[in-house]
Amino acid sequence: QSVLTQPPSASGTPGQRVTISCFGDTSNVGANYVYWYQQLPGTAPRLLIYSNNQRPSGVPDRFSGSKSGTSASLAISGLRSEDEGDYYCAAWDDRVLGGVLFGGGTKVTVL
């Protein structure tokens, strides 16, 4: 099963803006909502963004999502040390034997 494509790493200094991309195709990202999950060290993942650009209650507005065509992005503005961790995108794949696809994950480092 194919995965969505994310850069393996991203970094920034406190206060900076960091953007993470997620590339798919017309059967997944291009056809369905994209979701983003944050996994801090030693913890279970947490829903960060749903339906491309919606934040669950409790998620700071420093986190924002967008989608255009077959790619999506997660932006973290005002980067903070506690944002350091792994970030995953996910989308449903419409192929006959599809299902939920995850990106490979992006490790965000706060310098």
Near another protein by CB under 8 A: residue from 5, 7, 25, 46: 46
Near another protein by CB under 8 A: residue from 102, 109, 110, 111: 102
CA dihedral sign, ordered 22, 53, 26, 1 = positive
Does 87 interact with another protein (rule: CB under 8 A)?
A: no
φ/ψ of residue 83, rounded to 5: -85, -5
Residue 26 DSSP SS3? coil
Does 111 interact with another protein (rule: CB under 8 A)?
A: no
Residues that bind another protein (CB under 8 A): 1, 3, 32-33, 35, 37, 39, 44-47, 50-51, 56, 86, 88, 90-92, 97-105
